[in-house]
Amino acid sequence: MANFVDLEIFAKYQKYMENEQEIRENIKIKVREIEQLAKESTIQLQVIHSDLSNIDNACKEARKQISACSNIYKQLAELVPMGQYYRYSDHWTFITQRLVFLIAMVVYLEAGFLVNRETVAEMLGLKTNQAHGFHLDIEDYLMGILQMASELSRFATNSVTMGDYDRPLNISHFMANLNSGFRLLNLKNDGLRKRFDALKYDVKKIEEVVYDITIRGLRNNATQDGGEESSSK
């Protein structure tokens, strides 16, 4: 009786699937290592919500964990077959967005400005050009920045409870500029669009905090004195 099915074909399929599974398992191991470092970095940064005097040290410690991620990303890139970045990218998309948020938060706390995609990519040991293989997607960068916006909204509120009445005003200016920047984008991605909608509420929340501080006359004495001195000039 003739054999109408070549069983060797299925043997090849099985080998392919086993190889695919091995790649994914190895990727998961590296992603978990990155997730652990991101978790430790997040824990370090949480101190800003309860101790303003420890912000510099918190940023320094968070940077250590972030820096360690670059070597693991390099190992991760070596696991991904050439030209198949997007075949496996779902494994590291979320954690990469998380790291963008952490880097953006650290840079803002240290210097008060928005970190660009190129700097984030450099800190993580990634490329910015898709043609170069393992890279930092623009959408992942933007999503991470939007995560930072929510954290800044929380930070502004907690700063008031710790007696810093000027910080929310600075954050409000920053968030207003950030909101203006995102409005320049024609967002097609559903996830990004929904996250951008949340930014509007974050901006509004901070504006309410600033308004409450203003009508209550709660401003740091140093700032008030400086303002009166400037006015007298």
Q: What is the pLDDT of residues 85-100, one digit of tens each?
A: 999 999 999 999 999 9
Single pTM value for the model: 0.87
Q: What is the mean pLDDT of residues 164-187?
A: 94
Identify the DSSP state of 1: -
CB-hemisphere CA count at 13 Å for 106? 26
What pLDDT score does 139 carry? 94
- What percent of the chain stands above pLDDT 70? 91
- Decide: helix, strand or coil at residue 127: strand
Is residue 231 over pLDDT 90?
A: no
What pLDDT score does 107 carry? 98
Q: What is the DSSP string of 117-179?
A: HHHHHHHHT-BS-GGGSSB--HHHHHHHHHHHHHHHHHHHHHHHHTT--SHHHHHHHHHHHHH
Is residue 3 over pLDDT 60?
A: yes
Is residue 74 over pLDDT 80?
A: yes
Query: Which fold, 7-228?
Result: Methane Monooxygenase Hydroxylase; Chain G, domain 1 (1.20.58)
Instruction: Please state, in angstroms and rounded to a whole number, the distance separating the CA atoms of residues 77 and 148.
Output: 26
Rounded to 5 degrees, φ, ψ at 135 are -145, 175
